[in-house]
Amino acid sequence: MTTKVLDRRLFFLTAAFVSLTAASALGQTVDSLAMRFSSMTAITGYEQAVTDSLLQLLPGSTRDRMGNVTLVLGSGSPKRLVSCSIDEVGYTVGNITDEGYLLLRRVGGGARLSPLFDQQLEGHRVTLFGRKGPVPGVVAVRSTHLARGRPTATEPPFTVDNAVVDVGAASRDEVLALGLPLLTPVSLTKRPLRYGNRLLAAQNAGRRAACAALASAALSKPRPRGSVVVAFTVQGLYADSAGLKTVQNLQGPFAESRQVSVAVKFADTAVETVRLSDVDALRGEIIRWIGGGQ
We report the CATH number of the domain holding residue 163 as 2.40.30.40
What mean pLDDT do residues 211-232 have?
Answer: 96
- The whole-number pLDDT of residue 9 equals 42
- The whole-number pLDDT of residue 147 equals 66
The reply to whether omega before 253 is within 30° of 0 (cis) is yes
In a shared domain, residues 78 and 203: yes
Question: Residue 258: left if φ>0, alpha if ψ -120 to 50, beta else—which one?
Answer: beta
In a shared domain, residues 280 and 200: yes
In a shared domain, residues 94 and 84: no
User: Which residue, of 138, 169, 188, is where some domain finishes?
Assistant: 188
In a shared domain, residues 139 and 54: no
The pLDDT-based confidence of 152 (bands split at 50, 70, 90) is: low
In a shared domain, residues 74 and 108: no
Tell me how many domains the chain contains. 2
In a shared domain, residues 123 and 252: no
Residue 80's domain comprises 28-88+192-290
Q: Is residue 41 part of a domain?
A: yes
Percentage of residues in the chain having pLDDT higher than 90:
77
Share the mean pLDDT of the chain: 88
In a shared domain, residues 59 and 203: yes
We report the CATH number of the domain holding residue 62 as 3.40.630.10
Note the pLDDT tens digit of each residue in 272-290: 999 999 999 999 999 999 9
Note the pLDDT tens digit of each residue in 154-165: 778 889 999 999
pLDDT at 19 > cutoff 70: no
In a shared domain, residues 181 and 208: no
Note the pLDDT tens digit of each residue in 52-106: 999 999 999 999 999 999 999 999 999 999 999 999 999 999 999 999 999 999 9
| Run of H or E including 57 | helix 48-57
What is the value of pTM for the model shown? 0.86
User: Which residue, of 143, 165, 188, is where some domain finishes?
Assistant: 188
User: Which residue, of 173, 188, 203, is where some domain finishes?
Assistant: 188
Calpha distance 90→204 (Å, rounded): 11
The pLDDT-based confidence of 142 (bands split at 50, 70, 90) is: confident
Calpha distance 38→191 (Å, rounded): 8
Calpha distance 77→228 (Å, rounded): 9
pLDDT at 122 > cutoff 70: yes
18-43 burial code (b ≥16 CB/10 A, e <16): beeebeebeeeebbebbbbbbebbbb
Q: Is residue 2 part of a domain?
A: no
